[in-house]
Amino acid sequence: MKRLISQYLFLILGGAIILLGMVFAGINFLNHNPVNDRVMLRAPGTKEVFLSSGKNNLFYEFDSKQLNLGVLQLKKEEKLNNVSSLVAVKIVKVSDNKEIVLAKDSSMNFTFNDTRGESLYSFEVVEGGDYRVEINPTIELPKAITFSIVGDLANSLLGVFKHAGIVVSMSIPFLLIGWYMYAREARRKKLLTR
């Protein structure tokens, strides 16, 4: 029994470190997910919001329902095409009326329950504070459109991968020692059976 424990102990420890590290990384991301803290906006409209310093994205949100029937998957989206040309967006700091420069950015999207978000713009907030967000349509819209401002989603996801990399690198010595102990014990058993 003692030999069996010594043969597998380091492999079990390495595996436990990886498993616990991944669980903690997942829980940390779920608790600090920027999508949960997004600021909702309606167009047309103006709203004062508090924005923290750092990179932010403005997302266009729409209903996206998916029905999974085994082999058949149905998807229903209530989406307007080319939304960035349908609305004019302006973000101004309340204290000094300084406008933030918006850069077109369609590199990210998210799905949250039955809501899908596609990024339209990214912008950098140098100094946290109160900002006025104005979203005005350039043409007559068939209905009100929902937008949201989300903090640095890409950096949050990168943090999860960084945490996972650290955990895996911490477990490598245990896995190598465990592999060596397992191979040594297997070699010993093979010699005894000859």
Highest mean pLDDT among 25-29, 108-112, 122-126, 164-168: 122-126
Strand order in the sheet with 87-93: 45-51, 129-137, 87-93
Q: Indicate the pLDDT class of residue 150, thresholds 50, 70 and 90.
A: confident
Query: Is the pLDDT assigned to residue 1 strictly greater than 60?
Result: no
Query: Is the pLDDT assigned to residue 54 strictly greater than 60?
Result: yes
Which residue matches tokens 């406008």? 99
Distance of CA 84 to the CA centre of its chain: 23
Interval 34-62 mean pLDDT = 82
| Dist. CA 67–CA 89, nearest whole Å | 34
Distance of CA 130 to the CA centre of its chain: 25
Strands 54-69 and 109-112: unpaired
User: How much is the pTM?
Assistant: 0.62
| Dist. CA 18–CA 141, nearest whole Å | 50
3-state secondary structure of 96: coil
| Rounded-to-10 torsion of CA 79, 81, 82, 85 | -80
Instruction: State phi, psi for 63 to the nearest 5 degrees.
Output: -70, 135
What does the block give as tokens for 60? 């266009």
Look at residues 111, 64, 56, 112 and name the one whose alpha carbon lies nearest to residue 89: 56
| Dist. CA 148–CA 37, nearest whole Å | 10
Contact (Cβ atoms closer than 8 angstroms) between residue 90 and residue 96: no
3-state secondary structure of 108: coil
What does the block give as tokens for 89? 């967006």
Interval 162-185 mean pLDDT = 81
